[in-house]
């Protein structure tokens, strides 16, 4: 298993080295929007289908670009452990279960390219605003009766 993870990591790092090379699709976008603009996506995030995204980037200087990414968090279940406090009840309890968040995010950023904007390696400063909805099924015992419920939630914030 460690060898498989190492191989995938090396492949992903190798993929990233050539991710900013000029391709025919990039040339087509440049011919429509002009050479100071780029539309990109992060193909690595599509596997294992965690997000779908698109980024618009504008060359603001010789080595600086600014942009905004938009994306959608594709529903994907994962297990969480949570301390639950039900309003009006005296006892808190620990809940372990699966949740499936989904929702939109926006990701404005500034990138510095050592060799020239919109090509090659870059360093990035960014902010992400997200708003995810989720449903978490749970059950608990009250007065010797097992009660099955679903908690609907919404998470939003900056990250």
Condensed to tens digits (0 to 9), the pLDDT of residues 101-117 reads 888 999 999 999 999 88
Report the number of distinct structural domains present in the chain. Answer: 1
Max mean pLDDT range (53-57, 74-78, 87-91): 53-57
4 lies in a domain? no
Give 123's DSSP letter.
E
Q: Which domain holds residue 90?
A: 22-158
pLDDT digits (tens, 9 = 90+) for 27-66: 665 667 677 888 888 777 777 777 888 999 999 999 999 9
73 lies in a domain? yes
9 lies in a domain? no
96 lies in a domain? yes
Give the separation between CA 72 and CA 87, rounded to whole angstroms: 32
3 lies in a domain? no
Angle (CA) 103 11 19, round 5°: 65
114 lies in a domain? yes
pTM: 0.60
Closest-CA residue to 151 (of 93, 90, 73):
93
Report the percentage of the chain scoring pLDDT > 70: 69
pLDDT band at 17 (very low <50, low <70, confident <90, very high): very low
Give the separation between CA 22 and CA 28, rounded to whole angstroms: 10
11 lies in a domain? no
7 lies in a domain? no
Give the separation between CA 107 and CA 53, rounded to whole angstroms: 10
């Amino acid at each position: 298993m460690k060898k498989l993870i190492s191989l995938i990591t090396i492949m992903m790092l190798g993929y990233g080295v050539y991710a900013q090379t000029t391709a025919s699709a990039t040339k087509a976008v440049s011919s429509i929007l002009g050479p100071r603009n780029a539309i990109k996506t992060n193909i690595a995030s599509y596997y294992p289908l965690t997000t779908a995204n698109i980024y618009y980037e504008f060359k603001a200087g010789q080595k600086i670009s600014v942009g905004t990414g938009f994306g959608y968090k594709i529903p994907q279940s994962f297990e969480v452990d949570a301390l639950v406090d039900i309003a009006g009840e005296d006892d808190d309890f620990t809940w372990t279960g699966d949740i499936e968040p989904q929702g939109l995010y926006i990701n404005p950023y500034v990138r510095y390219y050592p060799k020239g904007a919109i090509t090659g390696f870059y360093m990035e400063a960014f902010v992400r605003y997200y708003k995810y909805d989720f449903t978490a099924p749970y059950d608990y015992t009250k007065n010797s009766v097992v009660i099955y419920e679903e908690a609907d939630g919404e998470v939003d914030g900056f990250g």
